[in-house]
A and B are shown apart, each in its own frame.
Chain A
């Protein structure tokens, strides 16, 4: 308990330093949001796995609570050594924003941001292409959407991590797709950690897709070097009626890093979100993905892949809230667990009263490759309407011995055969990435990972 108290103390010091150091440049409302978020954090502290706290039953964040992290100072030189080549998407044009240790890097980003480009009058116009810019600019130029949605979907009071993210909110990415706009090229948000020890970043992303718009957004988290640091990301997504949004997250943090990510989505009538998350790195990973299907015809497809190696602990929590009739959801999460890694999956589906004609399906499958690996899976259905079709399934096993034998009998070596089977296992998730360039990029990352462990 005392250790906990000192941890909060050190965050408190940091918060006051952060406020003095430049947070005063922001508008008054934002200062209030931050302060109230920080008092939420002081009240909540970090989540504990104590009895009765079901969502944190399998994940202990004490290593985070007991470490002290500092915000990275902005260093001009930080980006100089960054070779972006390895992170490039295989397509001619992207909208790209790059953050290094939490700071925006104009030199590496493709989107020159002008005041005009972010101005609210301009934004409303159809066919202008997407706005991909800094959240700090959007706040400064008083983009109305920011005030409307920031912190609404993911209230700071949710848990200690969302509270901290909001308390330290200064910059991040703001993506807006105007009504009726189709964006053919991927929007790429790249968060790089230099691996400087004990740095904390609080990446914040707000994505607003207007009515009948369509776009692909890739969020990518990388580390240049090893190192123990904390990434505490928070993404809010809101879609207008008929919008189609494809979201992909690729997480390749260092093997000593902590990665906490919260994504909250809200979907309007007939909108569609296809989300794919791929976790390949980190020491302790906790990812919460939740969507509110608030109007009829909304649909969501949540896919996930997590690879556990070494001591990694990777925890995926999903929640689909069917709050309107005639919405549908589909979920496929797959895990490959090797070494002494620990995989956790908890998938909640809530069908509220009167949400008739709901179609909800969920599958979680896990491959245990090592005798020290562990997996805990918990698919949950909570249903209060009768005219529904809901299913869920979960499976834990190892590579099919018959399939392995078949391949070997065809002259394929054991290692190659195992790799083939693992690729077959993950392809169901990767195939859900619709954008070709993004899929190729993620597939390469996954191959690199599985090849090494196979």
Chain B
């Protein structure tokens, strides 16, 4: 690969890099007990939630004091100053919104530019969207349709007020505040997020979707998503993200918790396209996210699909606890690291119940100076009779300055388990490129075709609209990388 193409790749423009002029209300920078109380008060939270936040805050400060930051990931960044971040930013004025018409026109424009069909909701009703702007949820669409089926789809803050019993029961039940450093931080300062509850036996009629947008300068985003699929229900949930181009590194530390009861199925898809920073690695989002699902019921099923193309650093391990008998966990991932991006991502499958199965397909693409690490754990506990796991991790290297790493952990404590892991690392082969070229494809198109084939197993799991977007994103991101 020539220097010219490396440069082109690195200069690939980030098309979501603009900011929105909207008056914001925000907390002063810094983290203290007062800030936590301030956020909680701001949101009119009940006492138990404030206590819950404070417990997390104290745990976080203890970890910070002992310098117990997670250092095991294959990423490097300057130390984060947790006192310089603004933990809360919200568009002003924060009103109780009754309909789309009441949303700030600037914000609506933002989502329009991002291609989110908020306005079209009423007519098309194809996707129900919860849009999170900085710290708060601006609106949740298609609520009425969902209400007819008894589906609750709202912001977490709203759910705290309207369905406290559900929130209280499940919040922190999958990712406790003491789970890890960033989960503790999130639990203390989380501002908003989506809340979904699917009642027993309901197949959610719409694809639910959340769009996350970081807009304010110097702020972090700490959202928390909680999805509960009651017995025999099904839901497909999509998540997309973007942020303006800035020179500073912004922190995104989210927590996502999924709970699937007996016979329930949750399909969670992410297209992550946070601002990755410029070609020198300046700016960009630190995406430190804890995502975990619990197959609490028998025959339940949780599937994670992610396409990770953005962020300066991605640190993310969507996991599944396979607690119910015959439950299934799946993880399909495409991670792209180009420019100076660093991605350390993978999954944890913990087999607890009997006859559980899990499947992991991870496709890493490294280009430019990017470093891509798959880090995964497959753990079979002593009581997990008949556990089955299949893991495949493939890495594709484009350019000689990038890195691809695979670090799987396999821990088996039950002899009836069958665990298989396969991994390979290669570059786009000259033979394949030559074959396509002699069929009349330009070299660049040929590479695109090959990359598309490489990620096919994952992309085909995405809902249709997302699949198209994922293909396009990969294509745009890999323009000019041909060797």
Q: Which of A112-120, A146-154, A376-384 contacts B (4 or more CB under 8 A)?
A: A376-384
> Is there a chain A Cβ closer than 8 Å to B146's Cβ?
no
A349-388 CB contact bits vs B (8 Å, 1 = yes)? 0000110100000000010111111111111111111111
Are A353 and B400 within 8 A (Cβ)? yes
Q: Which of B91-99, B337-345, B417-425 contacts A (4 or more CB under 8 A)?
A: B417-425
Q: A378-B408, A381-B404 are in contact. Are A386 and B398 (CB under 8 A)?
A: yes
- Count of B residues near A, CB < 8 Å? 38
The majority secondary structure among interface residues of chain A is strand
> Is there a chain B Cβ closer than 8 Å to A13's Cβ?
no
| CB-based nearest A residue for B428 | A386
B130-164 CB contact bits vs A (8 Å, 1 = yes)? 00000000000000000000000000000000000
Are B418 and A384 within 8 A (Cβ)? no
Interface positions, chain B 452-483, Cβ under 8 Å from A, are: 483
Are A397 and B418 within 8 A (Cβ)? yes
Q: A395-B420, A396-B419 are in contact. Are A386 and B410 (CB under 8 A)?
A: no
> Is there a chain B Cβ closer than 8 Å to A95's Cβ?
no
> Is there a chain B Cβ closer than 8 Å to A389's Cβ?
yes
**In the complex the two chains form, what is the Cα distance from A181 to B409 in whole Å?**
43
Are A396 and B400 within 8 A (Cβ)? no
Contacts of B409 in A (CB 8 A): 376-378
> Is there a chain A Cβ closer than 8 Å to B51's Cβ?
no
Are B425 and A373 within 8 A (Cβ)? no
B370-409 CB contact bits vs A (8 Å, 1 = yes)? 0000000000101000000000000101111111111111
Contacts of A381 in B (CB 8 A): 395, 404-407, 423, 425
> Is there a chain B Cβ closer than 8 Å to A73's Cβ?
no
**In the complex the two chains form, what is the Cα distance from A387 to B426 in whole Å?**
7
A192-213 CB contact bits vs B (8 Å, 1 = yes)? 0000000000000000000000
Most buried by A among B1, B71, B415: B415
Contacts of B427 in A (CB 8 A): 386-388
Are B405 and A380 within 8 A (Cβ)? yes
Are B404 and A383 within 8 A (Cβ)? yes
**In the complex the two chains form, what is the Cα distance from A372 to B414 in whole Å?**
7
Are A392 and B71 within 8 A (Cβ)? no
A328 to chain B, nearest CB (A): 14
Contacts of A383 in B (CB 8 A): 395, 397, 403-405, 425
Contacts of A392 in B (CB 8 A): 406, 421-423
A318 to chain B, nearest CB (A): 15
> Is there a chain A Cβ closer than 8 Å to B20's Cβ?
no
> Is there a chain B Cβ closer than 8 Å to A393's Cβ?
yes
B1 to chain A, nearest CB (A): 8
> Is there a chain A Cβ closer than 8 Å to B202's Cβ?
no
> Is there a chain A Cβ closer than 8 Å to B13's Cβ?
no
| CB-based nearest A residue for B403 | A384
**In the complex the two chains form, what is the Cα distance from A387 to B422 in whole Å?**
20
B5 to chain A, nearest CB (A): 13
| CB-based nearest A residue for B398 | A386
A372 to chain B, nearest CB (A): 8
| CB-based nearest B residue for A393 | B422
> Is there a chain B Cβ closer than 8 Å to A391's Cβ?
yes
Contacts of A369 in B (CB 8 A): 415
Contacts of A387 in B (CB 8 A): 400, 427
Contacts of A385 in B (CB 8 A): 397, 400
B325 to chain A, nearest CB (A): 18
Are A54 and B405 within 8 A (Cβ)? no
**In the complex the two chains form, what is the Cα distance from A322 to B401 in whole Å?**
16
Are B399 and A386 within 8 A (Cβ)? yes
| CB-based nearest B residue for A375 | B412
Contacts of A445 in B (CB 8 A): none
> Is there a chain B Cβ closer than 8 Å to A398's Cβ?
yes
Contacts of A378 in B (CB 8 A): 407-410
> Is there a chain B Cβ closer than 8 Å to A390's Cβ?
yes
**In the complex the two chains form, what is the Cα distance from A418 to B247 in whole Å?**
64
| CB-based nearest A residue for B388 | A397
**In the complex the two chains form, what is the Cα distance from A374 to B423 in whole Å?**
23
Contacts of B407 in A (CB 8 A): 378, 380-381
| CB-based nearest A residue for B407 | A380
A115 to chain B, nearest CB (A): 51
Contacts of A397 in B (CB 8 A): 417-419
Most buried by A among B398, B399, B425: B425
> Is there a chain A Cβ closer than 8 Å to B72's Cβ?
yes
**In the complex the two chains form, what is the Cα distance from A383 to B395 in whole Å?**
10
Are A382 and B405 within 8 A (Cβ)? yes
Cβ 8 A contact of A391, one of B1, B71, B398, B423: B423
Are B418 and A396 within 8 A (Cβ)? yes
Are A396 and B417 within 8 A (Cβ)? yes
Interface positions, chain B 412-460, Cβ under 8 Å from A, are: 412-427
B392 to chain A, nearest CB (A): 10
Are B408 and A379 within 8 A (Cβ)? yes
> Is there a chain A Cβ closer than 8 Å to B411's Cβ?
yes
**In the complex the two chains form, what is the Cα distance from A52 to B405 in whole Å?**
19
**In the complex the two chains form, what is the Cα distance from A375 to B425 in whole Å?**
25
| CB-based nearest A residue for B382 | A371
| CB-based nearest B residue for A378 | B409
* 4 further interface pairs, Cβ-Cβ under 8 Å (given A386-B1, A391-B422, A394-B408): A377-B410, A388-B425, A390-B425, A396-B412
Q: Can you name 9 A-B residue pairings with CB atoms under 8 Å?
A: A368-B412, A377-B409, A378-B407, A384-B403, A386-B427, A387-B400, A389-B426, A394-B419, A395-B418
- B interface residues with partner A (beta carbon < 8 Å): 1, 71-72, 380, 382, 395, 397-427, 483
Q: Would you list the 7 A-B pairs with minimal beta carbon distance, nearest first?
A: A368-B415, A386-B397, A394-B421, A396-B419, A381-B406, A390-B425, A391-B424
